[in-house]
Structures are given as C-alpha cells and as structure tokens.
Chain A
Amino acid sequence: MSFLEVTLFLWEGFKISLLIFAVTLLCGAPLGLPIAFCSMSKFKPLRALSKIIVWIVRGIPLMLQIFIIYYVPGLLFEFPLFSKIDIYMLVNYDIVDAGRIVAVLIAFTLNYACYFSEIYRGGIESISYGQYEAGYVLGMTKSQIFRKIILVQVIKRIVPPMSNEIITLIKDTALANCIMVCEIIKNAKELAANEALVWPLFFTGVFYLVFVGLLTILLGKLEKKLDYFRG
C-alpha cells in the first residue's frame, strides 16, 4: 500500500473520530447545563439525584460505560438494540457500524455532559453574589441577571477548563474501538493485521496532533477575545 492509500484509509477512520468528537461536543455541552442547574437546585432530591449521576458517570471508566450501553440492552432485556441497528443499517443502506457508533455517541455524550456540568457549576458558583445583588437592586429579573451579567463572566472562566476537556475528548474517541468501531486506531490496527504494516499505527498520532494544534489555536483565540475584561 502506498503512503497515500494508507493516509486515505486512516482518514476514513479519523472522520469517525471527528464525528464522535463533534456530536459529543454539540450534544454534551448543552446537556451539561441542565445537569449543572440540577446539581445547584434548592430542591434536595433533584440535587442528590444529579450528583449521584455525575458521581457514577465520572467514577466509571468511559470504556466500561461504552460496554454497558452497547451490551446491556441485549443482556438484560434480550434485545440487542445496537447490534440490530448495526445489521439493519448495513443490509439496507450499506452503512457500517451504525449501531455501535450510536452506542458510543450516547456513552460519550452522557459522560462528557457530566464533566461539562461540573465545569459549568464551578464557573457559575465562582461568580460573586455581589454581581447578582447589583443586578437585583437595579431592578433586573433573575433571567436578565443570568443572561446579561453572569453568563459572559462564567464563559470567560470556563474557557480554560473547557479547552482541556475538549482536547481530551478528541483523544478519548480512540476508546470507541473497544466495541470495534472503525475509528482511526482501529483502522491502523487492521492495517497491521492484514497488511503487516506497523508504521500506520504510529502515524495516527500525526492526525491527532494536527487536530489538537488547530483546536489549541482556536480556543486560544476565544480566550484572547474574552481578555478585554477582568473578573
């Protein structure tokens, strides 16, 4: 196999990695917000529930969570939901791994939503109560205070920890190969097994590096953009 062919084959895998990355970010980041609010709720049972979920999701290895989501419907209810989707999509639409990818997306989204929620909570709780009170005495409503005063300050504070999580996320996508999803490392291992090529496995690192480099620049720009104020 030529270098170009290998690169293209790996790129096919990296597209799956990027898909997992994008969906996790687009779904997990918003989902983290209600979880954060539940964790800060004045209603104790809701707060407790939310904290228990966050504890479990953050306390178990992501790989195990992928296994659980993929296999448990089959084991517990004798309905292998995701492998059925797999077969159905492959037979009818010639799409490989669809069910597995859905299972991975669910696991990743849940997992990252919980991590994000803790970052949001930390950010929101770090804003001094004086900011709320200043809004109140100026006749603002709760929602105006959150949208017009608190939110931007929270965003500024959570950009660095969010950047960290986001960079971890792209590397975590490699975990999808634990249920045989054809992400980039799975593809590289296939080359090692079928074509006796070992170097592509190490070459995958370049894909991650380039992408993380781009992310770093982008997130750095965002951080700079919020540099105009302190607080």
Chain B
Amino acid sequence: MAHLIVENLTKSFGSLKVLKGVSFTLEKGEVLAIIGSSGSGKTTLLRCLNFLETPDGGQITVSDKPLLDGHDNDDEIRKKRLHFGLVFQSFNLFPQYTVHKNVTLALELLSQEREDWKTNKKAILDEINKTADDLLARVGLADKAQAYPCQLSGGQQQRVAIARALALSPEILCFDEPTSALDPNLTGEVLRVIRSLKSADRTMIVVTHEMDFARKVADKVIFMANGVIEEEGTAQQVFENPQSELTKAFLTGFDFDKDEE
C-alpha cells in the first residue's frame, strides 16, 4: 500500500467549500508538487494534513494507519501530527531563541516525555545538540548556530525553518510556498536545500509557484483548481502534455526556462 493515502478529503469554511473531495496517494521517498492558482485550496490541504484544520470528511492514512477518526483529544492530535512536518511560507521561527535552539526546542520538549529522560538526560541532550549541528550543516548554516532569527536573511531563516522541521524526522515533510516570501535572488538557496533533501525514505509535498523547481524535482505533480484535483501525473505528463483546459490555461501563465541542467 502507498505510504500516504488521502481519500475524499473535504473542508468548508462556513458555506465556502474549499476542499471538495481530494484524493491522492504517495509512495515513500516521492516528492509531490502541488500547483494551482490562488484560492484553490493548496494551503488548506497541507493544513489538514498537519491537523491545523480539521477536515469535514475523508481519510488520511500513513503507513497503513488511518489518522482521522473524528473524536480525538488534543493529545492524540498532537501525536498524529508528528507524522507530518510543515515549513511555512512566512518561516515562523521563534524570535527569542538562537538558530540552534529553534532546531532543538521541540526535540527537547518531546524527549521529556521519554521514560529514560530523568536517568539519561545528559546523553539525550547531547544527542539532540548533535542532531541540530548536523541539520544546520546540511542546510549550510553551521556558522549561524548562535545567531538570532532577526540577524538572518529571509533565505537563511527559511533554511533554519527547514532544519527545525527535519529535527523531528517527520515521515512526510510539507512545504507551503517556501520561497514566496523571499526576494527572487534568495529563492535559489532554499530550493537547492529542499532538492538536496530528496532521498529514498523522505517523502515530501511541496506547494509551489516555482514551476521549474516542480518540473525538475517532483516525481508527481498535482494541479488543483477550485478545491479539486484537476490534473495529476508525473512532472512530464502535467507540464509537457496537460489534458485539462484549466491546467493548460494555468501553465501558459508561466515562463519556462527551457535549458535543462
């Protein structure tokens, strides 16, 4: 069975139907790019996956475990959302903590729930610090570990946010327009980091307006329109040979840089 199965997900805000039955599957290690015009429900979909919104109906299944059962308490939801990670458009780093602490904070708090926390505290904290060092090196910010978010550029902040999300090793990492809040000259560094994360056991969902990035990195592309999946397929299918009129119209709005790497 697929690693992630989303079935018939629906979500309304009042009378506004934002998701009208969204279904897709994703294999472990795949990168899914979600594209679509503003208001089509992309952010809402990611927020549902991360339990920031409660879907009205449908099912989300990760590694054969159905996650939605309608009557969870806060603590169960909190555990379930750990299957997913989310990188926000606006970073949302914690301003009062150093870059390093931004990465370690959640792990430290979660470790306190471990049974061996009291007896093994020092070793656990050392391990966490090492994890953070490794992650910061991966996103190219080892030298900024002790800086505060306000001292970083937008691109650097977003890379910290990525390291922070990776710290909990989520099974599925979601990005909501990770470069939309950045100056154009800073998007490259962030996209390169995301691309470098692609690996056999890391599943990623990227909502993006960066069509070149989607085309080069995604194994699978979904085009959303008006709360439904209008078209889905491999990057090549969707970009080179779109079937739906809406997809065609949407894609003609973008300039493609044709020279391949």
Contacts and interface: CB of A to CB of B under 8 A. Distances in A.
A206 interface: no
B149 A144 contact: no
B109 A148 contact: yes
A231 B168 CA distance: 25
A61 interface: no
Contacts of A135: 106
Given A137-B81, A142-B74, A148-B105, A229 B96 contact: yes
Nearest to A128: B92
Interface residues of B, number: 29
Contact of A131 (B84, B92, B164): B92
A230 B106 contact: no
Contacts of B92: 128, 130-131, 133-134
Interface residues of A, number: 23
B148 interface: yes
Nearest to A130: B92
Interface in B42-58: 50-52
Contacts of A152: 96
Nearest to B80: A139
A136 B52 contact: yes
A141 interface: yes
A231 B96 contact: yes
Given A130-B90, A133-B92, A139 B106 contact: yes
Interface in B21-47: none
Contacts of B86: 137
B213 interface: no
B78 interface: yes
B137 interface: no
A138 B95 contact: no
B106 A133 contact: no
B150 interface: yes
A217 interface: no
B227 interface: no
A83 interface: no
Given A134-B92, A140-B78, A152-B96, 18 more contacts: A128-B92, A131-B92, A134-B88, A136-B51, A136-B52, A136-B78, A136-B81, A137-B86, A137-B165, A138-B106, A138-B164, A140-B109, A141-B74, A142-B74, A148-B109, A228-B148, A229-B95, A231-B149
Interface of A: 128, 130-131, 133-142, 144, 148-149, 152-153, 156, 228-231
Interface of B: 50-52, 74-75, 78-79, 81-82, 84-86, 88, 90, 92-96, 105-106, 109-110, 148-150, 164-165, 168
29 contacts: A128-B92, A130-B88, A130-B90, A131-B92, A131-B94, A133-B88, A134-B92, A134-B93, A136-B50, A136-B52, A137-B52, A137-B85, A137-B165, A139-B81, A139-B106, A139-B110, A140-B106, A140-B109, A141-B78, A148-B109, A149-B94, A152-B96, A153-B95, A229-B149, A230-B95, A230-B148, A231-B96, A231-B149, A231-B150
